[in-house]
Amino acid sequence: MANQVIRCKAAVAWEAGKPLSIEEIEVAPPKAHEVRIKILATAVCHTDAYTLSGADPEGCFPVILGHEGAGIVESVGEGVTKLKAGDTVIPLYIPQCGECKFCLNPKTNLCQKIRVTQGKGLMPDGTSRFTCKGKSVFHFMGTSTFSEYTVVADISVAKIDPSAPLDKVCLLGCGISTGYGAAVNTAKVEPGSTCAVFGLGGVGLAVIMGCKVAGASRIIGIDINKDKFAKAKEFGASECISPQDFSKSIQEVLIEMTDGGVDYSFECIGNVKVMRSALEAAHKGWGVSVVVGVAASGEEISTRPFQLVTGRTWKGTAFGGWKSVESVPKLVSEYMSKKIKVDEFVTGNLSFDQINQAFDLMHSGNSIRTILKM
């Protein structure tokens, strides 16, 4: 099918706030420096729901969502040299061109080569490769994995070990990598340190895993849903607490529990009030607090400047600080050698046609990640 339009199934979001619709779409062949991928497994993430809700300022409709996927390269466009048909890959929502000043700076992973067009739901040349019922359909985060076939920029693809189970490693396309990297790359958690993780969903569990791998001696999980505590402890949390069990603020509770505050705190919810709590729970003089959760458009964070003057550091992270093209294959290898958990994040498998059910499971708080088999 190289150089030909492929007809396949995709879950189209026609408008904000409405369920996804399984449609037959046309996927155009890849142009120069593009890759067409047959997606074999994908997962549903809160970021997909955030855009579908209409709260995302960059959200545009109709669109094919999805950014935690894995598959096989079907064909490549002109000028693609590092990938070929048959390669096993994970599409990346943060590319790595290797040439822009961001890629050349070891302090960041935020490649900007295609940021403008990606934010508009378009390929780098300003057009779409998706058509449905005669209408052009937007891309999402440069990946659009809720389709049996997708087209992505060649700098947005990680070539991985072909023996890796795609219905597991697809999760390394976002949530697990983000949380794990927040601990080991952004915070640089040190052996023997004390950590607090706010929000015990998939990303929060990955942060706990990262803190554990880094050698933290005490990891406190915080969530209002106590049903999540058992799983958090499986991932390495030493104890878990709910803010609703205390009459004082959660930061005051943590300061008392830890003799002055934690060495590292992580906000994995996207709630600006919790971001403040996480910062203020960090220890005076050296505490570091990392914002991992994505807040809604227009939200602002606040604290008293004295919190920073007295030695706390407020940081943010995107995709856990990983330089994507080079790092994701290494993360797959770490999973294959059992250094990091991935299987334990999967709470269920559904067919692609049941995608709206996967969203319902996520919103219910009863699932970490549901995998859709294409």
- Is the pLDDT at 365 greater than 90? The verdict is no
Length of the chain: 374
pLDDT confidence bin for 366, thresholds 50/70/90: confident
**Quick one: CA torsion of 239, 245, 248, 253, rounded to 10 degrees?**
-10
CA distance 304 to 168: 43
Which of 68, 148, 267, 280 is labelled catalytic? 68
Say what the pLDDT of residue 122 is.
98
Has 111 been annotated as catalytic? Answer: yes
Has 170 been annotated as catalytic? Answer: no
Which of 33, 67, 129, 139 is labelled catalytic? 67
pLDDT confidence bin for 58, thresholds 50/70/90: confident
DSSP per residue, 260-285: S-BSEEEE-S--HHHHHHHHHTBPTT
Structure tokens at 142: 């440069």
Has 60 been annotated as catalytic? Answer: no
For the full predicted model, state whether its pTM sits above 0.75.
yes
- Is the pLDDT at 20 greater than 90? The verdict is yes
CA distance 84 to 100: 24
Has 283 been annotated as catalytic? Answer: no
Pairing status of strand 264-267 against strand 346-351: unpaired
Which of 97, 170, 195, 268 is labelled catalytic? 97
Has 68 been annotated as catalytic? Answer: yes
The helix/strand/coil state of 108 is: coil
Say what the pLDDT of residue 56 is.
85
Which of 23, 26, 108, 115 is labelled catalytic? 115
Instruction: Give the residue carrying structure tokens 């934010």.
Output: 119
CA distance 362 to 358: 6
Q: Which of 2-16, 45-59, 120-134, 173-187 has the lowest mean pLDDT?
A: 45-59
Residue 137 sits at φ, ψ, to 5 deg, of: -115, 140
Which of 34, 36, 47, 280 is labelled catalytic? 47
Walk across the sheet containing 264-267 and list its strands: 239-241, 218-222, 194-198, 264-267, 288-291, 313-316
The helix/strand/coil state of 152 is: strand
Has 115 been annotated as catalytic? Answer: yes
CB 260, CB 243: distance < 8 Å: no
DSSP per residue, 332-373: HHHHHTTSS--GGGEEEEEEGGGHHHHHHHHHHT--SEEEEE
Residue 178 sits at φ, ψ, to 5 deg, of: -65, -50
CA distance 89 to 279: 37
CB 243, CB 271: distance < 8 Å: no
CA distance 122 to 303: 37
SS3 content of the chain, % helix, strand, coil (to 5): 30, 25, 45
Which of 34, 74, 103, 150 is labelled catalytic? 103
CB 11, CB 148: distance < 8 Å: no
Mean pLDDT of 85-96: 98
Tens digit of each residue's pLDDT (9 = 90 or more) over 268-315: 999 999 999 999 999 999 999 999 999 888 899 999 999 999 999 999
Which of 42, 45, 143, 145 is labelled catalytic? 45
Residue 358 sits at φ, ψ, to 5 deg, of: -65, -40
Which of 33, 36, 46, 283 is labelled catalytic? 46
Say what the pLDDT of residue 118 is.
97
CB 95, CB 325: distance < 8 Å: yes
Mean pLDDT of 86-92: 98
- Is the pLDDT at 1 greater than 80? The verdict is no
Mean pLDDT of 78-91: 97
CA 202 to chain centre: 9
**Quick one: CA torsion of 118, 121, 124, 129, rounded to 10 degrees?**
140
Mean pLDDT of 137-141: 98
Which of 36, 129, 174, 283 is labelled catalytic? 174
Which of 111, 170, 195, 240 is labelled catalytic? 111
Tens digit of each residue's pLDDT (9 = 90 or more) over 312-344: 999 999 999 999 999 999 999 999 999 999 999
Q: Which amino acid is at 294?
A: V
